[in-house]
Amino acid sequence: METHVFLVRHGVTEWNQTKRYQGHQDVPLSELGRQQAERVAAYLADQPFAAIYSSDLERAHETARCIAAKQGISVTCFPEFRERHGGEWEGRTVEEVLREYPDWETVRLTGGVYGVEPTTAVQERFVRKCEELVHKHRGERILIVAHGMCITAALGVLTQGEIDFGKTRLENTAISHLTHHELDGWKLRSFNQTPHLEAE
């Protein structure tokens, strides 16, 4: 019995556009981000889901609400799907962090200093909640709206490194599709798909 899990990154924010670390800062979608959310919602409208889940941060929750409105269902939020906590980096631009933290590249990949949440901690909380929901929805289709780093970090575990944080940049409102089978485990069906943004 296969369970289908669709992972969607939230729409773009002004902080995304200015390359500013967001982390747990509750930054809303920009106007472009709202348009992206509406477009991914329209694209997924004829693909019914048993449930829609989201990070409890507004940029993800708003994106999820757009999708759920087309499905006629509600959204359930979990803090386990939050973006990585950015510690001292939150609110700063990438340029500022590069200038002030010479070990930026190493810390970005591993975390654990400057208050930056360890990558392994992000993976553990995200994957644990995913597996809990898969057991709850065996044989069904569910959708989770979350954030770029936490999705790719979790995929590093679920795909055994086929996709991983630091290898690929996940686009805003990109869709990734996994299946889970009780015997065969996780399989990645598609990654970082944005047909809704490419359409005229």
- What are the phi and psi torsion angles at 163 (to 5°)? -120, 140
Q: Is 18 exposed, middle or buried (0-12, 13-18, 19+ CB in 10 A)?
A: exposed
The answer on pLDDT for 200 being more than 70 is no
Q: Are strands 51-55 and 75-78 parallel, antiparallel or unpaired?
A: parallel
Show the DSSP H helices in the chain as ranges. 14-17, 31-44, 58-71, 94-100, 104-110, 119-136, 148-158, 195-198
Do residues 14 and 194 make contact, with C-beta atoms less than 8 angstroms apart?
no
Per-residue pLDDT band at 167 (split at 50, 70, 90): confident
Provide the Cα torsion 138, 139, 141, 142; round to 10°. 0
Percentage of the chain exceeding pLDDT 90 = 92
Dump pLDDT digits (tens) for 117-155.
999 999 999 999 999 999 999 999 999 999 999 999 999
